[in-house]
Structure 1
Amino acid sequence: MARTIRFHEIGGPEVMRLEDVDPGRPGPGEVLIRVEAIGVNRAEALFRSGSYIEPVRKLPARLGTEAAGVVEALGPGVNRFEEGQAVSVVPSFSANDYGVYAERAVVPAAALVHRPDGVDAVTGAAVWMPYVTAYGALVEVGGMRAGDTVVLNAASSGVGLAAVHTANRVGATPIAVTRTRAKARRLLDEGAAEVIVAAETDVPRRVLALTGGRGAEFVFDAVAGPGVAELARAVAPGGTHFLYGGLSGLPFAYPGFDLGMPAWNLRTYTMLETTRDPERLRRAAAFVTSGLRGGAFRPVIDRLFPLEEIVQAHRHMDSGDQFGKIVVTVRPGAS
């Protein structure tokens, strides 16, 4: 048996329970891992509350798609990994099928990447979702390159900070947008070329001023809602506005016609585009691993919580006060 987080009803953080559950044996193409650390992501809060892009199909349900651990057993047909090997789990599967909020968990072998030497479990649980999301959209799909400008809202999130680091690594200019001045200094310290405080500044006007009137080649938008129309005014001709989240929770109308039909590309993105494509995932893993080895990439850890405090971890995430990534650590057999 393994201590496992499950929920028996849709709702807030309080519906999660720590229960003893048999993790089972790995089947064909699966691996059993001993979990050491878990990356906490907003998608899990949305899934638990019934507002994710994929509904909960059955209860009780598990949670978690990102973790670091050690391989305990291999299912038939798995030959890329060995027992005792340090690995990370990258989000690539349905939360209806697997979950890593647990001491031990069965996951698809296709969702595993080798954990580089010297990368500890907390880093291994915190680095992949943010950096693969940023790389997959901006580099793999968008083709971001040296000299480009990218505007990032929700810039103090794990993904936002990874996008700042990724832009700097390829020679692009990251402009961070934050609601208040409280996080501005830290964003500059993390490498943002400029921080725009949305409550104090006309964001598109400032972006145009910073780019000599050209606008940004990319907007990386985690908020969506009515702000899409505003940020669209900051996109350079032929540029791309990526929607990778909907933190506002509000709808929006396509603004292209109201803006005079600019050459503006609006596109949704989820990291599953990258992690479910073996070749894209291979390139993403190489990009992130080289960044880790060279020191350009590192997860910004906001807080650590033990597995027993998963409810508090989700409440902290729901508060929106974090700067970087929330990670849950696992101590097998802890009471």
Structure 2
Amino acid sequence: MPRVIVFDEFGGPDVMHIVDEPIPTPASGEVRVRIEAFAVNPLDLMMRSGASPAPVPLPHARLGIEATGIVDAVGPEVTGLSTGTPVILTAVADPVAQGAYAEYTTVPASQVIPRPTELNVVEAAAIWVAFSTAYGALVETAAMQRGDRVLINAATGAVGRAAIQVAREVGAVPIALTRNSANEDELFNIGAAAVIATDRDNLIETVGHHSDGVGVDIILDLVTGPGQRQLSEVARTGATLLAAGFLDSRPAPAPARTVKFHRYKGFVHTLDPEVVGRMATFLSAGLRRGALRPTVDTVLTLDQIADAHRRIEAGTHRGKIVLTVE
């Protein structure tokens, strides 16, 4: 029988284990996907540890919101998709029950898109969450325009890297913020117009230099917490501040300046077929031009899932950790 990763209690990576389950049958409007590879995201670690903002019923909880695979079966009322089609999952609305850490899963047919031919299986598993988050926050929510100066916090993470590329593709000016100046060359290679390293640079002075003293138009904060107030100090009046991360769970104080504040949640857009269509079109165009590309740190196998979670907890990864399903 197919293998599925589950956990019966909250805790460290070792609470996850593999069980055998029957192949699921797609309901009306659903497709069954044979998973070829999936990526690990911070939300997975929060769910497994018991820190998820949404309740996770135990036992036998699943994980996984990002994957690619082959349509293996279609349920009644499904049109436009056939078996054998390579797809990317655009949303797993109930990862506890249908998570992608498995050999098979079922999802509504509206929550998959054809896999771009420019991507191999590993890249396809690593691209959607990061780029849909960056696009959804910057384009759909902040209405980013050509020439906008965009400050991107935690720029070396998967979403930060995607945001740099999305901003470049639109014609905006991505300013990457990182804690370590050793990341500078890598961030410039991704497409950053400027890099601010907090171990070397004064944030306010350096942003002033790169914004002609005006401040930035958009801030994408992928950390949040108390540091968000200092970020708001480098915004121009009326700028947009997007809180799209949760690396720091401490409360964030009120912004220091008058900004348009949004707490961005990706599912608002990834469960909307019209927005997903725009995201997919943008992604496909950028891939064809070679302007967009996911960064993959490590490729492991399904039975190495605990090692994958440990690597993310250690904070040593650069890009996505992807697990192949063999």
TM-score bracket, normalised by the shorter chain, equals over 0.9
Equivalent position SS for 1:213: coil
Stretch moving more, 153-162 or 95-104:
95-104
Question: Where do residues 129-140 of structure 1 align in structure 2 (5 Å cutoff)?
Answer: 129-140=129-140
Aligned to 1:289: 284
Question: Contact 2:91–2:112 (CA<8 Å) still a contact in 1?
Answer: no
Which segments of 5 or more consecutive residues in structure 2 lack a partner in the other structure? none
Stretch moving more, 201-210 or 313-322:
201-210
Equivalent position SS for 2:174: strand
Question: Where do residues 87-106 of structure 1 align in structure 2 (5 Å cutoff)?
Answer: 87-106=87-106
- Mapped to 1, the partners of 2:204 and 2:108 lie a distance apart of 43
CA distances 1:279-324 after superposition (whole Å, capped 9, x unpaired):
1111111111111112111101111111110000011111111111
Aligned to 1:149: 149
Question: Where do residues 1-335 of structure 1 align in structure 2 (5 Å cutoff)?
Answer: 1-255=1-255, 259=256, 262-331=257-326
Stretch moving more, 156-165 or 190-199:
190-199
Which segments of 5 or more consecutive residues in structure 1 lack a partner in the other structure? none
CA distances 1:130-162 after superposition (whole Å, capped 9, x unpaired):
111111110111111111011111111111000
Equivalent position SS for 1:32: strand
Aligned-residue RMSD, C-alpha: 1.3
CA shift, 1:69, in A, is: 0.4
Kindly provide the amino acid, as one letter, of the partner of residue 110 in structure 1. S
Question: Contact 1:175–1:196 (CA<8 Å) still a contact in 2?
Answer: yes
Equivalent position SS for 1:167: helix
Question: Contact 1:92–1:272 (CA<8 Å) still a contact in 2?
Answer: no
TM-score, with length taken from structure 1? 0.94
- Mapped to 1, the partners of 2:182 and 2:49 lie a distance apart of 29
- Mapped to 2, the partners of 1:171 and 1:96 lie a distance apart of 39
- Mapped to 2, the partners of 1:316 and 1:282 lie a distance apart of 33
Equivalent position SS for 1:58: coil
- Mapped to 2, the partners of 1:173 and 1:235 lie a distance apart of 14
- Mapped to 1, the partners of 2:302 and 2:92 lie a distance apart of 22
Equivalent position SS for 1:96: helix
- Mapped to 2, the partners of 1:270 and 1:209 lie a distance apart of 32
Equivalent position SS for 2:33: strand
Question: Contact 2:9–2:58 (CA<8 Å) still a contact in 1?
Answer: no
- Mapped to 2, the partners of 1:246 and 1:20 lie a distance apart of 33
What is the aligned-residue identity percentage?
Answer: 40
TM-score, with length taken from structure 2? 0.97
Equivalent position SS for 1:127: helix
Question: Contact 1:58–1:96 (CA<8 Å) still a contact in 2?
Answer: no
